Chain A
């Protein structure tokens, strides 16, 4: 074991959270001055929902164990889905490859080398049918991580339900569809922010009317955190994005209580145990206040923040990858103690490649150990009333609301994004953390301290063969030959009309995918009508 070279000695050491927030050595009753239990904290299931979304929390319903999966051809991912369902997973979660996410068919030149690498390749309805082969869409709930092409993928999913004879009212699931966080963190886009938000509102409107069990947007802090933000920034920018969507939907003329109960959230869960639990508590309380006070929502279900959580990919190390199992277990426990409603646990090998089957199974089993063996599901919000926990929750809330005020002063989140505000704040925090790692002021075990000089035995990782790309490209080309050119043309024309005229895009989109119009072809209409967004490359 190498001795830590430059780790500061205790007298100089700052005691901070991973987000670099200085914390007190001990908290006591003084830190709770002026706080009223009913008003500011409340019982689980009661406004402002600090202590959880539901009165009995996990006694009533365990969180959904939802492992994100997708790679290779639709057949490959279909096999992984069935593997997970057979082992007790309770919901599906689909990862798409980069061409699908960015609106290119598998046979496009920009897709070269990327087909099936980071997720499953889907170019047309035929691929979607293969992906869910043998899985009835009223028997599972599906989460789909896709954003700028979300409307097209959702149209395919709904068209598939129809083909299976499943009524749309019975189809449940979530589509990420959060473009604002794309511009500040995840960086997958086709068109600029304003038309992108218009498409999201079309989807909210369509789902409210036709697919009441569907969550049309999952307002996501996950990627904001992965891009290097602090916990406060994750809270502020996520809820700030949420405010922008609600505002836009209300401006469209939708009744806030008609759609707000179907908004869902997605947070990261990082290593700093107490800070992360506090973050979930603060998020629920802030959203409840925003919905009730700012938007005047009357339905208590509109006030409720329900969230998926995923352990932090950026916290994992390529060195000593088995240590990642410990990190994931601690993060997962924080998410559960924070009251998450759904959870993905990362696999130990994710810094090296997409997860292998044994790694993904260990990650799923981690959740099952927490649920079945630790006893934490017995009591809702066991940290409620802890001096330290309540103080941290208050502090995260207050600092995040400060950011939201600054964003309001700029004219709202869309304008703030156009000016690069969240992007620059995140880049700054990310660079600061990297500097602290380089100086050993913050430690990543196995990476900048406690490393071994000997060669480590490599893990068996999943490799995607080049065969996948060849298979998919040939398949997409063949389908394009076989389909009716006239129907494709008519389908695309109707989508273009809706894009230009401002009518809801979803109905013509569902028709277009049934005519086998592809992801790439429909995305081209977005490029043509709405224009293309280019990375401003802020440093």
Chain B
């Protein structure tokens, strides 16, 4: 029996409308064989954590271009843990300075992709690092 495909939630927290990256990543992951759920824009951390539970995903990818990454990543991480989703991979991308990316990774975020990352890099990372929960 074949295993179910890995499910990834691509989520867009915050108030900004920059969804070009999120949509490209969602499509590239889908083309790469993953099952992708896209939340759409303007999600609160609570909405994202709830969607992760409802959709029973193996990973959550956040796209943040508003500068609010240092607030939003930890908030979502905490909510996921609170819902018992500690094994769910949490990654993201956007306009995130390198020192912030390092700090987030130290705090337990699995990976941060910054401008210039190709969709192949991201799909490759997802294949290597996301496991079924």
Q: A537-B40, A537-B41, A539-B38 are in contact. List 13 more A-B contacts (CB 8 A).
A: A102-B15, A111-B15, A112-B71, A114-B16, A114-B67, A117-B68, A226-B20, A228-B20, A317-B115, A352-B97, A427-B23, A438-B120, A458-B98
- Name the residue of chain A whose CB is nearest to the CB of B39: A537
In whole angstroms, how far apart are the Cα atoms of A354 and B66 in the complex? 10
Residues of B within 8 A of A521 (CB): none
Number of A residues near B (Cβ < 8 Å) is 44
Residues of B within 8 A of A98 (CB): 14-16, 66
Is B17's CB under 8 angstroms from A187's CB?
yes
Is A539's CB under 8 angstroms from B15's CB?
no
Interface size band for B: 35 or more
Q: Is the C-beta of A504 less than 8 angstroms from some C-beta in chain B? A: no
Residues of B within 8 A of A317 (CB): 115-116
Q: Is the C-beta of B133 less than 8 angstroms from some C-beta in chain A? A: no
Q: Is the C-beta of A534 less than 8 angstroms from some C-beta in chain B? A: yes
From B16, B38, B66, B120, A537 is in contact (CB under 8 Å) with: B38
Residues of A within 8 A of B79 (CB): none
**Count of A-B contacts judged by CB separation below 8 Å:** 101
- Name the residue of chain B whose CB is nearest to the CB of A318: B115
Is B24's CB under 8 angstroms from A353's CB?
no
Q: Which residues of B contact A (CB under 8 A)?
A: 14-20, 23-24, 26-28, 30, 36, 38-42, 44, 66-68, 70-72, 95, 97-98, 114-116, 118-120
Q: Which residues of A contact B (CB under 8 A)?
A: 98-99, 101-102, 104, 110-114, 117-118, 182, 186-188, 226-228, 314, 317-319, 351-354, 427, 430-431, 434-435, 437-438, 447-448, 458, 461, 464, 534-537, 539
In whole angstroms, how far apart are the Cα atoms of A314 and B115 in the complex? 10
Is A182's CB under 8 angstroms from B95's CB?
no
In whole angstroms, how far apart are the Cα atoms of A188 and B118 in the complex? 27
In whole angstroms, how far apart are the Cα atoms of A211 and B36 in the complex? 50
Is A437's CB under 8 angstroms from B44's CB?
no
18 intermolecular pairs with C-beta atoms under 8 Å apart: A104-B15, A110-B15, A110-B44, A114-B14, A117-B68, A186-B17, A187-B17, A187-B41, A314-B20, A318-B114, A352-B97, A434-B119, A437-B118, A438-B118, A535-B42, A537-B40, A537-B41, A539-B30
Residues of A within 8 A of B19 (CB): 187, 227, 535
In whole angstroms, how far apart are the Cα atoms of A237 and B40 in the complex? 22
Q: Known contacts being A438-B119, A534-B40, is A430 close to B24, with CB within 8 Å?
A: yes
Q: Known contacts being A102-B15, A187-B19, A434-B24, is A448 close to B118, with CB within 8 Å?
A: yes
Is B66's CB under 8 angstroms from A118's CB?
yes
From B14, B24, B44, B95, A352 is in contact (CB under 8 Å) with: B95
Min CB distance B50 to A, Å, is 15
Q: Known contacts being A114-B14, A114-B15, A458-B98, is A319 close to B66, with CB within 8 Å?
A: no
Is B71's CB under 8 angstroms from A113's CB?
yes
In whole angstroms, how far apart are the Cα atoms of A521 and B36 in the complex? 37
Is A114's CB under 8 angstroms from B97's CB?
no
In whole angstroms, how far apart are the Cα atoms of A299 and B14 in the complex? 45
- Name the residue of chain A whose CB is nearest to the CB of B16: A98
Residues of B within 8 A of A318 (CB): 114-116
Residues of B within 8 A of A464 (CB): 67
Residues of A within 8 A of B42 (CB): 102, 535
Q: Known contacts being A430-B24, A534-B40, is A118 close to B67, with CB within 8 Å?
A: yes
In whole angstroms, how far apart are the Cα atoms of A164 and B56 in the complex? 58
Min CB distance A296 to B, Å, is 36
Residues of B within 8 A of A535 (CB): 19, 40-42
In whole angstroms, how far apart are the Cα atoms of A427 and B27 in the complex? 10
- Name the residue of chain B whose CB is nearest to the CB of A437: B118
Is A430's CB under 8 angstroms from B20's CB?
yes
- Name the residue of chain B whose CB is nearest to the CB of A226: B20
Q: Known contacts being A353-B95, A539-B38, is A114 close to B115, with CB within 8 Å?
A: no
